[in-house]
């Protein structure tokens, strides 16, 4: 299950950011990796995390991995950042048509074909695969 968490370093509440992950620990870890680019002395134990109401996905990593393999995108993961038709979002699951369920920044979750105008990003923000159009 994927949830939305707000995570920040204890010393800097103003650096809070929403992170999507299966657990608070995974959310803290993702945010810590982002922060360590410029602040390498922060520790995992110095991170705080609060679950936000309003979003949850019952998707399991195993279910999603099976669909990703079937659709020819074995690199795709729950919680991966994508850009669909120029709009940034995060993969939160799949649907009955084996398409991606993507949560966009405006809060909407849409059914997106995995090969139609989609860019897939790694944890560093680099494009790892791009499908310009069907």
Looking at the fold, whether 75 and 126 belong to one and the same domain comes out as: yes
pTM > 0.75: no
Among residues 19, 41, 57, the one where a domain terminates is: 57
Same domain, 44 and 80: no
pLDDT digits (tens, 9 = 90+) for 86-115: 999 889 888 888 999 998 877 788 999 999
Same domain, 93 and 117: yes
Name the residue among 78, 99, 79, 104 with its Cα closest to residue 89: 104
pLDDT in tens, 26-84: 989 988 988 887 777 888 898 999 987 666 666 777 888 999 999 999 999 988 999 99
Phi-psi map region of 28: left, alpha, beta (phi>0 left; psi -120 to 50 alpha): alpha
The domain in which residue 43 lies consists of: 2-57
């Amino acid at each position: 299950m994927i949830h939305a968490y707000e995570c920040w370093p204890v010393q800097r509440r103003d650096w809070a950011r929403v992170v999507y992950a299966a657990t608070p620990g995974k959310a803290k870890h993702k945010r810590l990796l982002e922060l360590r680019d410029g602040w390498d002395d922060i520790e995992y134990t110095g991170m705080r995390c609060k679950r936000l109401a309003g979003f949850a996905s019952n998707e399991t990593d195993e279910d999603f991995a099976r669909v990703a393999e079937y659709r020819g995108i074995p690199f795709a993961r729950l919680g991966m950042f994508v850009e669909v038709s120029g709009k940034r979002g995060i993969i939160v699951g799949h649907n009955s048509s084996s398409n991606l369920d993507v949560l966009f920044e405006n809060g909407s979750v849409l059914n997106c074909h995995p090969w139609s105008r989609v860019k897939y990003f790694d944890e560093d923000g680099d494009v790892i695969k791009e499908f310009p159009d069907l």
